[in-house]
Amino acid sequence: KEDNSLNYEYMVTYMKNLEAISINYLKNLQLLELNNYKKIDLRKWRRFNLYDKELFTIDSGNKLDKSKMTTINPTINFVGRSNQNNGITIEVDEIIGTKPYKKGYMTLALGGEYLGSCFIQPKDFYTSQNVNVLIPNKEISYNAKLFISIIIFKEARTYYKAFVDELNRHIKTDFSILLPVNDDKQIDWEYMENYIKDIKENTLNKLELLSSIQ
């Protein structure tokens, strides 16, 4: 205080305010329900090959060597066997006579450390060796492709092994994934769309709550 004695009132008030702020933060954290995951009932799902007519045409990719690419005026993404940045390892010059794949197509790493890494490509691109391109046979929404990419990754990491039993000899033959189906036993696109939408909305809500905790 002004007389140089301890200001106990100040300390009490300060701590009460701090406790009130902390309680509010804890309430927000409890609202996050970070571990509130529901187990999915797979009994109504069935297996599909990626080359199913309702899914994709599987293209072997460009099989280019990144070390031989030029970067004088880079405009094309180069996708390799990576699990970061959508598999994009560098941006390169367009090669005359070699048409890049279209944005929106998906890439899949067939082997190596990042076996099964599957991404929707945001720009036109080339690929390295052991990276296949999944070209949709019909219009597939971004959310549905995102759902499928996750299923592909989980399937590959569960049943195949890098440098031992990779996807190369399976991708166009017996590799399959589980997908939800409707009452007609057809792929349930609406389920996949809504599932990803829910994840996005829940994630945004959690981020908003976290942003209030400083």
pLDDT in tens, 2-31: 999 999 999 999 999 999 888 877 877 776
Q: Which residues of the chain have pLDDT under 50?
A: none
**CB-count exposure of residue 192 (10 Å: 0-12, 13-18, 19+):** buried
pLDDT computed for residue 46 by the predictor: 95
Token pair for 99: 């048409």
Q: What is the DSSP letter of 117?
A: -
Long-range contacts made by residues 201-206, C-beta under 8 angstroms, separation at least 24?
Answer: 206/32, 206/34
pLDDT in tens, 142-172: 999 999 999 999 999 999 998 899 999 999 9
Q: How far apart are CA 62 and CA 51, in angstroms?
A: 19
What predicted TM-score, i.e. pTM, was given to this entire model?
A: 0.81
Q: What is the DSSP letter of 135?
A: E
